[in-house]
Amino acid sequence: MLQDFKNFAMKGNVVDLAVGVIIGAAFSKIVDSLVSDVIMPIIGAITGGLDFSNYYIPLTSAIQGHPAYADAKKAGAVLGYGSFITAVINFLIIAFVLFIAIKQIERLKKPEPAAPAAPPAPPRSEVLLEEIRDALVKK
């Protein structure tokens, strides 16, 4: 049983998947920083200084005024749609970058050589002439 587990864990696909997950987690941190530190401030500047991370709807009357999102979460239930917008932008950036990367990897792959095609069948007239020739040789 231990040997079966070892064989399973050391298969190329499992190891590749583990490496992919680890790199994906590191890439996610990079994209989070890109979105929160670069893209969202630019969007905020374009939209007049809006900060999406502090967009929320209070769901309880315990939240008075309009405190920062983190303080509002401590005070009661809030619907943080600004964080959701940021997460959607993160996803779109990751999806786009992966799309570009996969396209480039596919472009760099060498096409597999095509299997040699079977020679085309001879025309019907040639087949008939061969049959006639073979019949004449037999006589």
pLDDT level of residue 128 (50, 70, 90 thresholds): confident
CB 90 within 8 A of CB 35: yes
Q: With 70 as the cut, is the pLDDT of residue 51 above it? A: no
CB 70 within 8 A of CB 63: no
Sign of the CA dihedral running 56, 62, 67, 71: negative
Q: What is the pLDDT of residues 77-91, one digit of tens each?
A: 888 888 888 788 878
Q: 13 lies in which domain range? A: 2-111
- Is 67 inside any structural domain? yes
- Is 124 inside any structural domain? no
Q: For position 63, which CATH number holds?
A: 1.10.1200.120
The dihedrals phi and psi of 78, each to the nearest 5 degrees, come to -135, 150
Q: With 80 as the cut, is the pLDDT of residue 96 above it? A: yes
What mean pLDDT do residues 4-11 have?
Answer: 71
CB 42 within 8 A of CB 93: no
- Is 131 inside any structural domain? no
- Is 134 inside any structural domain? no
Average pLDDT of the chain to the nearest whole number: 80
CB 80 within 8 A of CB 73: yes
**In this predicted structure, what is the pLDDT of residue 50?**
67
Q: What is the tally of structural domains in the chain?
A: 1
- Is 61 inside any structural domain? yes
